[in-house]
Amino acid sequence: MILSGSFLEGVASEEFAPFFGPTDYDAVNSFAREFPFAVQAHVLELRLSSERCHPDYQICLKDERETVESVRHGLCSAGLSSPPVEEFLRVWAEADSPLREHLPLLWLEFDRPSGDFSHAPGVFVAPNENAAVQTQMRAVAATFELLYPPHIAQRHIEHIAAVQAALPRTARIKHIGALPSRRPDLMRLVLEGVHDDQTLAGLLVELGWPGDMHYLKEVLVLLQEQGGVVPSLIDLDFFSGLGPNLGLELLLRGDYAPMDGGEALLALMGTQNWCSTDKLRMLDRWRSWTITEPESLAPWALWYKLYHVKMTVKPLPRIPSAECKAYWAAWSGPKRRVMDELHKAFKAHEEQ
């Protein structure tokens, strides 16, 4: 379902107190309210391992009429500071756009190092998994031609081809991120289906990953044996080659979500000092769905929860480390009364 306007209405700023203050709450709230796109989901990226407290912000755009129309007519007031990103969105939103047909899902990620929205968003595209690989790659190449200089675009196309050739049959590239606002040559690949430790290690060796394999294996054992979870997604960063940072995304929804909803994972994060006690307390509250019903979203309600935790394994000088972030996500959905009526109807049907 489509969510327009601010997703923070109905969620008090005090709920985010361990992560950021009222100034950041107001900044995100104002930006979301004025942003012209009708979106599928809003996400706040919350730092767990860092003293920095500002939240980064992500939105999901999907190939639906309301979204496409608002993208098409709202670019001039969107506040995007990057002509390449605006041009890409313009092409994506054109009528009968082949680019949108093959890249039907987008994520815009607003990094906020200074606490404001002055930086251009990064763009994550999700290739249509029903299309042939060659068709997907043509759409990705067209995207890169808009977002990168030609020599960088070509280099990253070659990186993608190398990863696709090395992936096991059970795996795929789920998202491709162009992040020139962080570094002019940065691309991120998000891999799905690489759940086995040995498979991941073999893939990284084949790709020439320059990170600390021994430390990575220690982290994976901890996550599986004490946290009760294996990574759902793997993030690889490419520059002139594959970078040393490796992202492990631990989803709390979907096929590979932990059976306990993340309780053991959060406990592990506390014992390993990956997250402070006050932040863990709030994350634990968000493991289950919360439903609010702000008037601005009528006739829908706002559904939100902790969506996933991400660990980035980094090679610091002499000592490797893991940096953690939490992703708080919000969607629109039915009001609680509607859900209660559905539950009653299902229960009555089962009792007949």
Q: What is the pLDDT of residue 349?
A: 65
**Residue for token digits 């940065």?**
186
pLDDT in tens, 48-96: 976 667 899 999 999 998 889 888 876 655 556 678 888 899 899 999 9
Give the pLDDT confidence of 253-289 residue by residue, as tens digits: 888 889 999 999 999 999 998 998 889 999 999 999 9
Confirm whether 3 is domain-assigned. no
Residue 2 lies in a domain: no
| Rounded Cα gap, residues 234 and 208, in angstroms | 16
| Residue 144 included in any domain | yes
1 within domain boundaries: no
Exposure class string for 310-339: b at 16+ Cβ within 10 A, else e: bbbbbbeeeebebbbbbbbbbbbbbbeeee
Contact criterion met (CB below 8 Å) for 91 and 144: no
Please report whether residue 205 resides in a domain. yes
**pLDDT over 90, % of the chain:** 59
Which pLDDT belongs to residue 271? Answer: 93
Q: What is the DSSP string of 175-209?
A: EEEE-TTT-TT-EEEEEES--SHHHHHHHHHHHT-
Range of the domain at 90: 13-351
5 found inside a domain: no
Number of domains observed in the structure of the chain: 1
| Predicted local confidence at residue 260, as pLDDT | 93
